[in-house]
């Protein structure tokens, strides 16, 4: 625990994973490493840590899986090869993030900022990709029920929420005008 005393959260989390204290490692990841990585966009240390989890600990769906799915989407957008296996398809990652991000624990300022940044990436992928809209939502439902239900529940900052609302509204108007 010397790493914790020095404030080196990454080394602390790695040591906890090696000691099979996966719940404690995930807590450190969620409180410090994940938010800092998302905000700084330096994601390689976060990815390395996530790769160390052989077995997901309790609470993984609202913890490490959120960061794993976010990394999958960001690396795909950058054209970077994904090293993590098992995170699923792009559609599966987006669906999980739509469900998990609004429920993610975000007590500190850093956690709230990271949560909003991840939500912005997910919202942008959905509203900018007609392919993603078709993959996520079955035909026969209208644009409003498809989009407002998921995207508008994401924890977005005000400016991002306004921009996404405008895009969703334009999509709804286009659908109405198309008949």
Tokens of residue 12, six digits: 């602390």
Domain count, the chain: 1
- Amino acid 68: pLDDT: 95
pLDDT score recorded for residue 163? 84
| 10-residue mean pLDDT series, the chain (179 residues) | 72 96 96 97 95 93 95 78 63 90 94 96 82 52 49 85 80 73
Tokens of 143: 């644009």
Domain that holds residue 91: 2-178
Long-range contacts of 163-171 (CB under 8 A, 24+ apart): 164/123, 164/124, 164/127, 167/127, 167/128, 168/127, 168/143, 171/127, 171/143, 171/147
Q: How high is the pLDDT of residue 88?
A: 79
Pair of tokens at residue 176: 């109405």
- pTM across the whole model: 0.81
Phi, psi of 136 (to 5 degrees): -80, -35
* pLDDT value at residue 122: 92
DSSP conformational letter for 105: -
């Amino acid at each position: 625990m010397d790493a914790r005393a020095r404030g080196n959260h990454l080394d602390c989390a790695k040591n906890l994973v090696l000691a099979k204290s996966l719940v404690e490692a995930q807590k450190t990841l969620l409180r410090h490493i994940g938010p800092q990585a998302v905000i700084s966009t330096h994601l390689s240390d976060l990815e390395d840590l996530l790769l160390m989890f052989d077995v997901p600990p309790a609470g993984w769906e609202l913890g490490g899986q959120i960061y794993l799915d976010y990394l999958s989407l960001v690396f795909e957008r950058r054209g970077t090869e994904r090293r993590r296996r098992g995170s699923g398809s792009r559609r599966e990652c987006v669906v999980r993030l739509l469900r998990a991000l609004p429920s993610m624990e975000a007590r500190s300022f850093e956690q709230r900022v990271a949560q909003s940044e991840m939500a912005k990436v997910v919202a942008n992928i959905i509203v900018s990709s007609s392919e993603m809209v078709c993959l996520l939502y079955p035909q026969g439902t209208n644009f409003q029920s498809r989009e407002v239900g998921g995207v508008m529940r994401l924890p977005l900052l005000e400016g991002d929420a306004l921009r996404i609302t405008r895009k969703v509204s334009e999509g709804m108007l286009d659908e109405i005008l198309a008949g």
